[in-house]
Every structure is written in structure tokens, then in C-alpha cells.
């Protein structure tokens, strides 16, 4: 609950600043920071685990140390937020609402309410965008949340080995975020999402079918898994920002992203894992990418679109 409100803010801020022709790749570079942070976290986990064993420290102390280390980047975020200003397109829309005055100003505030994202003009977009986010984010949860548990509980790897196996996945994720962003600008939003969604299904199934003990195959499959699942996610911030007008961009993107994150996380993999184990559960999560393909049938192509031409208050 503490982190949920901050999730979509940075992507749509960057999307409003980015020139339309480069919006996909810039958002891809931005989301590649997810992978960079995950790599740092994996290294920190391995380092703390080794130190805990060497010093005979209790496990409950080790995870507390990791949580306190997580405070350091949070402090950096607080500092960065004091140096960031709103994008010109948002400031222009805000000024336009301000000069309207009286009833017009009141109507603008009403239109910016939560209910507006379900108005007839935006209802289908909101629902389809939420479906797209649910499918695309499911891959990130597989990689960052459920995959380490799968390696530990099913493949019986110790914590250090889990961190070592996660590194190729995370390096692949970095490549997927950056490469997916470039594909967004070259191939378009819909084609890129469709291609990486299908590739993600294949990569997830390949990973869980790698025989236990096949270290090299697991590394290769992990790198491919990282590329595909992150490529399917890299352009999400740009696409969601382009689907909603400035007056409700933060609200529409935040609702779609956050609701999609909730749908993608626990119910699918968590529920299946309780029944059949993490291997079948992770494989079953591949079905979530079907939501991406279904959602794309109802969403337009927005590559290169200017925000200024789609304002409800214009």
C-alpha cells in the first residue's frame, strides 16, 4: 500500500516530457532501472547471506538488514522528487482549467474525478488498458517474486545459488526493457506487445521444463525469460500515457497500472502454487499473456501521437 501510489507516477511524467518519436525507447530506458535495481538487490541478498553464514547470524537478522538497506534508495527518491517539475503539457492543461473559472472550472474538476475514466468515451479504453497491464505485469511478478521461490523450493537451490541463477534473468530483463522500447518506436505499440506476449509464453514454458541440474540450460533459458517478459512490459508506461488525455492521464494510467498489478500478482501464481506447486503455477501464469492479446483488439495504435491533440478540455 505504501509503494502503490508511486508506481505509475514516474513513467507518465517521463512520457509527457518525451518527444513522440522517441517515447517508447525513453520509457524502455526508464523501466530498465527495474532490472538494474533487481540486480543490486540480488547482489545484496547474496552478500548478506554469505555474511550471515560466516558470522553465524540468525536468519531473522539477515532479512532485517536487507530491509534497512532498502531505505537508502528510498531516501534518494525523496531527494529526486524535490528536483522534478511537471511537464509543460500538464502545466498548459492546468492553466487552461484555471482560466475557465466558475462553472467551467468546477466541471473540469468533476471530469478529473475517478468516475471519468469510466465515462462512455473512456470506459472501453480503461478496461482494455487494465487487462493489458495485468498480462504484461504478470511476467514481472514471475521474475521478481515467484521465480526465486521456485528455484529454492522446487529446484532446491540455496540462497547463494538462487542469486547466481537470477543474475542472467535480470541481465536479460535489462536487455528486454531497452530492446522492447526501441521496438515500440519502430514496430508500433500493438505489434510489439503482441510479439513479446507470445514470446513470453514460450520462454516461461521453456524455463519450467528445463530438467533439474541443467545449469547451463537454466542460465540460457533464464536470459531468454528476462528478455521476453521485460520486453512485453517496457512500453506499458508510454502506451498507457498515450491512451488517456492529459486531464485524466495520471488517474487513468494509475488505475490501469495499479489494478493490473493487483490482478497479476497473487491470485494467479499464488493460488495455483498452493495447489500444484510453483512449477505448474509459473507455467499457468503464461495464460495471463492472453489478456494482452485480447486487450489489444480493443486498443488503438498510438505510436508517435501528440498529447496536445486529445484533450477533453480542448
CATH class assigned to 4-88+116-299: mainly alpha
Q: Which residue in 253, 196, 250 sits closest to 225, CA to CA?
A: 196
C-alpha cell at 60: 531473522
pLDDT the model gives residue 148: 81
Q: Which residue has the cell 495464460?
A: 287
Q: Which residue has the cell 495499479?
A: 258
Q: 31-44 burial, b if ≥16 CB within 10 A, otherwise e?
A: bbebbeebbebbee
Structure confidence by residue, pLDDT tens digits, 140-157 = 777 777 788 778 877 788
C-alpha cell at 92: 498548459
> Residue 211 burial (CB < 10 Å; 0-12/13-18/19+)?
exposed
CA-to-CA distance for 299 and 314, rounded, in angstroms? 22
Residues of the chain under the 70 pLDDT cut: 1-8, 53-54, 56, 90, 93-113, 266-284, 308-314
pLDDT the model gives residue 314: 36
CA-to-CA distance for 133 and 252, rounded, in angstroms? 12
HEC per residue, 85-123: CCCHHHHHHHHHHHHHCHHHHHHHHHHCCHHHHHCCCCH
Q: Which residue in 131, 175, 246 sits closest to 28, CA to CA?
A: 175
HEC per residue, 232-287: CCCCHHHHHHHHCCHHHHHHHHHHHHHHHHHHHCHHHHHHHHHHHCHHHHHHHHHH
> Residue 60 burial (CB < 10 Å; 0-12/13-18/19+)?
exposed
pLDDT the model gives residue 172: 94
Residue 156, Cβ neighbours under 10 Å: how many?
9
R_g (Cα) of the chain, nearest Å: 21
User: How many helices (H) and strands (E) would you count in the chain?
Assistant: 16, 0
pLDDT the model gives residue 309: 44
- Predicted model pTM: 0.80
Amino acid at each position: 500500500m505504501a509503494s502503490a501510489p508511486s508506481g505509475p507516477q514516474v513513467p507518465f511524467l517521463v512520457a509527457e516530457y518525451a518527444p513522440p518519436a522517441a517515447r517508447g525507447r525513453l520509457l524502455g530506458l526508464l523501466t530498465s532501472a527495474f532490472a538494474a535495481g533487481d540486480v543490486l538487490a540480488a547482489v545484496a541478498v547474496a552478500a548478506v547471506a554469505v555474511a550471515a553464514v560466516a558470522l553465524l547470524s540468525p536468519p531473522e537478522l539477515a532479512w532485517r538488514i536487507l530491509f534497512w538497506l532498502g531505505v537508502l534508495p528510498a531516501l534518494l527518491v525523496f531527494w529526486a522528487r524535490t528536483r522534478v517539475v511537471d511537464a509543460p503539457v500538464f502545466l498548459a492543461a492546468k492553466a487552461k482549467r484555471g482560466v475557465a473559472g466558475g462553472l467551467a472550472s468546477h466541471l473540469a474538476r468533476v471530469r478529473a474525478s475517478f468516475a471519468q475514466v469510466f465515462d462512455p468515451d473512456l470506459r472501453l479504453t480503461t478496461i482494455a488498458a487494465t487487462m493489458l497491464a495485468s498480462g504484461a505485469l504478470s511476467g514481472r511478478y514471475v521474475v521478481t517474486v515467484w521465480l526465486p521461490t521456485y528455484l529454492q523450493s522446487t529446484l532446491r537451490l540455496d540462497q547463494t545459488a538462487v542469486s547466481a541463477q537470477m543474475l542472467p534473468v535480470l541481465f536479460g530483463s535489462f536487455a528486454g526493457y531497452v530492446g522492447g522500447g526501441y521496438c515500440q518506436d519502430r514496430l508500433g505499440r500493438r505489434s510489439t506487445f503482441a510479439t513479446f506476449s507470445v514470446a513470453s509464453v514460450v520462454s516461461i514454458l521453456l524455463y519450467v521444463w528445463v530438467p533439474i541440474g541443467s545449469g547451463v540450460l537454466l542460465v540460457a533459458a533464464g536470459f531468454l525469460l528476462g528478455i521476453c517478459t521485460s520486453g512485453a512490459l517496457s512500453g506499458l508506461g508510454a502506451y498507457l500515457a498515450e491512451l488517456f488525455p492529459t486531464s485524466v492521464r495520471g488517474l487513468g494510467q494509475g488505475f490501469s497500472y495499479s489494478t493490473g498489478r493487483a490482478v497479476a500478482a497473487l491470485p494467479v501464481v499464488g493460488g495455483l502454487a498452493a495447489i500444484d506447486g510453483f512449477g505448474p503455477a509459473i507455467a499457468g501464469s503464461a495464460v495471463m499473456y492472453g489478456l494482452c492479446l485480447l486487450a489489444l483488439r480493443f486498443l488503438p495504435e498510438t505510436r508517435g501521437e501528440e498529447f496536445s491533440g486529445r484533450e477533453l478540455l480542448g
